[in-house]
Amino acid sequence: MKIFYSENHRQHNPAFEVFDGGQRVPYLENPDRMDKILSALRATNWAEFIEPDDFGLDPILAVHDVDYIHFLASCWDEWRAAEPEVESATDNSAFLPATFALRRTPRVPKSLLGRAGYYIMDLSAVIVDGTYQAALSSANCALGGAKFVSETSLSAFALCRPPGHHAGKDYGAGYCFINNAAVAANYLSAKGKVAVLDIDYHAGNGTQDIFYDRADVLTISIHGDPDFEYPHFIGFADETGAGNGLGFHHNFPLPAGTNDKKYLSTLGKAIEIIRDFAPKYLVVSSGMDIYEGDPLGKFKVTREGIREIAKRIAALNLPSLIVMEGGYANDALGENIVALLGKFIKD
């Protein structure tokens, strides 16, 4: 299997994030995640690593607001220029707002910190010097995989970091800045209908935001119920699309403690929706935080369950791009990814 991967992700390495209640903790979405996955993939006999091409900004701006992308590109340098003391700051320096927009009006503030609160949703979307370049490379991994899938009708894995599915049209959130899966799905949509299946533990709010009014890209998210889980304000079952997209978005919120049996039962419903839609391509937002014991998840899905999830998705027999999202049980992460991808290998 072709694995699209870039070492540029290491440029994004914040020292901390802020949890609920204001607790400052080491950044969970860290380069060690990739190292664990790389180690496990290199131990197989089927992983072939490919450095992605640079696809430029056009495929990104096709799904993201241009002013938001300009903000990501410039905010770090602008902040440093406005705050000279940052020059001598420690490795803990990071750019984060303290005030967040409720989005009840469309007005974008003029000040840097005001724009940060408008374009960033939470205190885990931490920006440091290399964040933007890492996010661009992550999107290029997804685009490289999408191009390969479209040209070969085979499946591929985009080993993306930072992840992307929480990034909406004009905001970053939940470790995500550019929505890699959405960029890839939009690229593929020029060649035929696309289904996006999000199996990350957290709702794919950004993907929902981007495709909510479109009928050519079906979006489905299976996740922890936002009544108790991040992102809290989106991902409910009655959110089914708008305008032309009405009926082309599906959320499956599940309770804490969801096990293999319950998850697979829900996955079966999602797969039937995909079959009825009859897409030409499938994009799978693959978060391994569904795994039992993940520090940011409350599901009880086993590694055997992950294999079965992958087996049933692969049985759709669609050219598939698997895109890396979350998963923070680092010691198990590599083997979980191998368990997932192994079911997409063609003999």
Q: What is the pLDDT of residues 149-184, one digit of tens each?
A: 999 999 999 999 999 999 999 999 999 999 999 999
- Asked if the structure places residue 183 within a domain, the reply is yes
Q: How far is CA 79 from CA 48, 75, 89, 123, 344, in A?
A: 40, 6, 13, 17, 44
Q: How many domains does the chain have?
A: 1
pLDDT at 88 over 70: no
Is the pLDDT at 188 greater than 60, yes or no? Answer: yes
Known active-site residue 166:
yes
Closest Cα to residue 319, out of 178, 146, 82, 167?
Answer: 146
| pLDDT value of residue 83 | 63
Q: Which of 128, 249, 228, 222 is nearest to 177 (CA)?
A: 128
Percentage, residues of the chain above pLDDT 90 = 90
**How would residue 257 be classed by pLDDT, with cut points 50, 70 and 90?**
very high
* Torsional sign, CA 126, 129, 130, 136: positive
Is 54 inside any structural domain? Answer: yes
Give pLDDT, residue 89: 42
Mean pLDDT for 41-66 is: 98
Residue 172: give its domain's CATH number.
Answer: 3.40.800.20
- What pLDDT is attached to residue 347? 62
Q: Which domain holds residue 178?
A: 2-13+26-65+130-342
Distance, CA of 180 to CA of 324 (rounded, Å): 9
User: What local confidence, expressed as pLDDT, does residue 86 receive?
Assistant: 47
Task: Evaluate whether residue 303 is within a structural domain.
Answer: yes
Mean pLDDT of the chain: 95
- Secondary structure (3-state) at 243: helix
pLDDT in the model for residue 98 = 86
State the average pLDDT over residues 254-272. Answer: 98
Residue 105 placed within a domain = no
Q: Pick the catalytic residue: 165, 166, 202, 250?
A: 166
DSSP assignments along 175-220, one per residue: TBSS-HHHHHHHHHHTSS-EEEEE-SSS--HHHHHHHTT-SSEEEE
Asked if pLDDT for residue 34 goes beyond 60, the answer is yes
Q: How confident is the model at residue 3 (pLDDT cuts 50, 70, 90)?
A: very high
Q: Give Cβ neighbours of residue 175 (< 8 Å, ≥ 6 apart).
A: 28, 29, 124, 125, 162, 163, 166, 326
In a domain, 80, yes or no: no
Give per-residue pLDDT as tens, 206-256.
999 999 999 999 999 999 999 999 999 999 999 999 999 999 999 999 999
Domain presence at residue 97: no
Full-model pTM: 0.96
Q: Which of the four pLDDT bands, split at 50, 70 and 90, describes residue 99? A: confident
Judge whether 120 lies within some domain.
no
More confident residue, 113 or 105: 113
| Residues 257-281, mean pLDDT to the nearest whole number | 98
Q: What was the pLDDT predicted at 37?
A: 98
pLDDT for the residue numbered 342: 96
The answer on pLDDT for 84 being more than 70 is no
Q: Which of 51-60, 81-90, 111-120 has the highest mean pLDDT?
A: 51-60
100 belongs to a structural domain: no
